[in-house]
Amino acid sequence: MPLSEQEQRLLDEMERHLMNKDADVVSAPRDGQTLSSRNIIYGTVLVLLGIGGLVAGVSTGIIAIGVVAFVVMIAGVVLAFTPAKGVGAPSSNSAGAPKGGHGGHGGKSASPSSSFMDRMNDRWDRRHDDQ
């Protein structure tokens, strides 16, 4: 059974309200929080080298090797959880956009490096604008 005009209008208004609020909530905490797979790999390698150095320091009884290995392990963890430079920077489609939408929606506005949610929001906006 189709919706009445009043129900359809109410549903459209609820969708617009949710879209405006959801876009703000989704985009705000993620700015600058994208982890780089390269940093994760290098960090993991450093942690593994640190564990090997720690084992070597304990087995030889040389405390300095163990301390250096522990510092290398901490550096690896910090590197692995450091956000990538440039990848998580705010784009013109998220932080600087007006509340009503994400700015220019011509052609392909979502780049391959944009996040999944940004691409979905852009698709939603384009679909909603076409109606």
Q: Does residue 83 contact residue 90 with C-beta atoms inside 8 Å?
A: no
Q: How is residue 67 written in tokens?
A: 């301390």
Alpha helices in the chain (DSSP H): 5-27, 37-60, 63-80, 116-130
Q: Is 69 helix (H, G, I), strand (E, B) or coil?
A: helix
How far apart (Å, rounded) are the C-alpha atoms in residues 109 and 88? Answer: 17
Per-residue pLDDT of 25-44, as tens digits, reads 555 544 556 788 888 999 99
Among 20-24, 76-80, 118-122, whose mean pLDDT is lowest?
20-24
- Kindly report the average pLDDT of the chain as a whole number: 75
pLDDT value of position 89: 45
Q: C-alpha distances in angstroms, 20 versus 14, 51, 117?
A: 10, 48, 14
Question: Which pLDDT value is given to residue 26?
Answer: 52
pLDDT, tens only, 3-27? 788 888 888 888 888 777 766 555 5
